Structure 1
Amino acid sequence: MPIAHYITHPQVQIDASIPVPDWELSNIGRARAFAMLNQRWVGSIRRIVSSGERKAIETAEILATHLRLAVEVRELMHENDRSATGFLPPAEFEAVADQFFANPHVSVRGWERAIDAQRRIVSEVEAALAAKGDDDVAFVGHGGVGTLLLLHHSAREISRDADQPAGGGNCFAFDIGAQRLIHGWLPIDRQHCA
């Protein structure tokens, strides 16, 4: 049973003067990405597919170097498009993110609609899976669209109830053939079953 692991980049260096897609991993995020390499589930991965955002690519490259694999970049795996607002202070961001998940058919403050972001990430993941083999694969991306993908594989409606724990650096896994969730969000730097 080939497994897909969806991994979110861990903590980033927040800088309001830099566009969010260009943010890099913080020292804590980088340390957590390296700690991920010691987990049993990592050894089965034979393919790595990443969002084109810097923080995702940095996470994917740490994994790829360890496994001696190339990173495939799929630009459409990016986080939900929030360019209409750019950086928002944490409290304001959380409030808008709540609205994003609560109103999936509405563009909240100009953000990409949740339903559109979900269609995009599901389509990109399915296209990547259709393109090559039946090996275990790691998708490296972001919490918002990752949550939308998890909800799709759980056959659940869009809501923030399934959002990853704060800080990023989590993963969920699904059975590629059966298209069913194996486990929900778990920290990347702790042992788990898949």
Structure 2
Amino acid sequence: MRALYLTHPQVRIDANVPVPLWGLSEVGRARAEALIARNIVPGGAVVFSSREAKALELAEIIARATGTPILTDHGMGENDRSATGFLPSALFEAHADRFFAQPHESINGWEKAIDAQKRIVSSVTTALNSVPSDAQVIFCGHGAVGTLLKCHVAGRVISRDEDQSRWADKGGGNGFLFDLAAEKLLSEWVPMEEIGPDWFG
């Protein structure tokens, strides 16, 4: 079964707000609205989402086009970084580099990459097993766990070289097509602006 994994685009960064509660910025929301304005998102598609605000806001925009309810799962959330809370950009990037480079280790209390990978793969597997085999499925989620899912599907080692920031828009709002059961990665990360109707064929 083909499915699309789509990350949330740009967010409102606020050091005083817990990261899971950050919502989409004006730029991020405009990009998501532009995606559905192209009328390529199929009606009736099944929409799964992380429960974090930014992913849910993306899912709500997508669901307006599909006309279907949003199915959420805490297991689809981003890697748990609550141990450090908000980090300035340079420090966050350094932590993220180590997160991918040392997947079996906790980086200053962060969830281990290998554990986050097992969690997102399990959650996506459960989701796909819950819908008809001919369903069109869209996952609304996050960059890090999306990358870990991508690595698993493609049979690649966990590496930040697979991260969306290395392939597409650094602000997020990127997607890849995959077939989990067949363990086939059907595309690399691409910006949502380059997703066409054939992606939903």
Q: TM-score range by the shorter chain?
A: over 0.9
Per the alignment, in what secondary structure is the counterpart of residue 45 of structure 2? Answer: strand
Greater relative contact order, per chain length (Cα 8 Å cut-off, separation 6+):
1
Q: Deviations over 1:81-106 (max 9, x none)?
A: 00000000001000000000000000
* Cα distance, 1:43 vs structure 2: 2.0
Q: Deviations over 1:144-182 (max 9, x none)?
A: 000000001110000100000211100001125423111
Aligned-pair RMSD on alpha carbons?
1.4
Cα distance, 1:44–1:172 mapped onto 2, change above 3 Å: farther
Cα distance, 1:42–1:149 mapped onto 2, change above 3 Å: same
Question: Aligned match of 1:178 in 178, 182, 189?
Answer: 182
* Cα distance, 1:45 vs structure 2: 6.1
Q: What percent of counterpart residues are identical?
A: 52
**Residue type of the alignment partner of 1:148:** L
**Residue type of the alignment partner of 2:35:** M
Whether 1:119 and 2:118 are equivalent positions in the alignment is yes
Q: Answer whether contact 2:47 2:137 (CA < 8 A) is retained.
A: yes
For these two proteins, the number of residue pairs brought into alignment is 193
Which consecutive residues of structure 2, in runs of 5 or more, have no partner in the other structure?
A: none
Question: Aligned match of 2:173 in 169, 173, 184?
Answer: 169
Per the alignment, in what secondary structure is the counterpart of residue 164 of structure 2? Answer: coil
Structure having the larger proportion of residues in strand: 1
Q: Deviations over 1:69-122 (max 9, x none)?
A: 110011111000000000000010000000000000000010000000000000
Distance 1:77 1:179 in 2: 19
Q: Answer whether contact 1:61 1:71 (CA < 8 A) is retained.
A: yes
* Cα distance, 1:38 vs structure 2: 4.0
1:37-56 equivalent positions in 2, closer than 5 A = 37-39=36-38, 42-43=41-42, 46-56=45-55
Distance 2:177 2:44 in 1: 12
Distance 1:26 1:83 in 2: 22
Q: TM-score, normalised by structure 2?
A: 0.92
Q: Answer whether contact 1:39 1:191 (CA < 8 A) is retained.
A: no
Q: Answer whether contact 2:44 2:67 (CA < 8 A) is retained.
A: no
**Residue type of the alignment partner of 1:172:** F
**Residue type of the alignment partner of 1:171:** G
